[in-house]
Amino acid sequence: MQIGKLFPGLAAAPTDIPLGLGDNWGQFALLVTVNLFVGGMIGMERSILPGLAEAEFGVTSKTAIVSFIATFGLAKAVTNLVAGSLARKVTRRRILITGWLFAIPVPFMLIWAPSWGWVIAANVLLGINQGLAWSMTVNMKMDLVGTRWRGLA
């Protein structure tokens, strides 16, 4: 299947690029690597922040400590909804890059956070990053491999 056949309404879509894992293994591997970095960022934060909440900010309530997960989930859910319709208006690449731009201040906010509120704000940005970057990376992988390898993507 060709990309032009997959997206017939897009005049700018090239029609001579073949779909499939074999033809696009390089781009697919790059997108898998991007997914690993996105997931790794979340994993590191989830393992570090609960201890940081108690040690640095004196937050002892389990509800308050877990609040960073709730704000992340809400921000990601809303951004996922927006990303789907936004993908029709701009390229997935631009959405992916925008998602990474939202992630740039996150480590600095966490490093220099003067209060737990900064951690929550960083998680909102991280949720937006995930809603854009993770979602678009998965969609881009599915686009590259076509219908035969969609489950792998």
pLDDT grade for 142, boundaries at 50, 70 and 90: confident
Neighbours of 12 (CB within 10 A): 6
φ, ψ at 61 (rounded to 5°) = -70, 125
At a CB cut-off of 8 Å and minimum separation 6, what does 48 contact?
A: none
Over residues 87-110, the mean pLDDT reads 89
- Residue among 130, 72, 74, 23 nearest 138 (CA): 130
Q: How far apart are CA 87 and CA 52, in angstroms?
A: 37
Whole-number pLDDT of residue 14: 52
Mean pLDDT for all residues in the chain: 81
- pLDDT of 69 above 50: yes
Q: How far apart are CA 10 and CA 56, in angstroms?
A: 52
19-64 pLDDT, tens digit each: 888 888 888 888 888 778 777 777 777 777 787 788 888 888 888 7
Over residues 84-94, the mean pLDDT reads 85
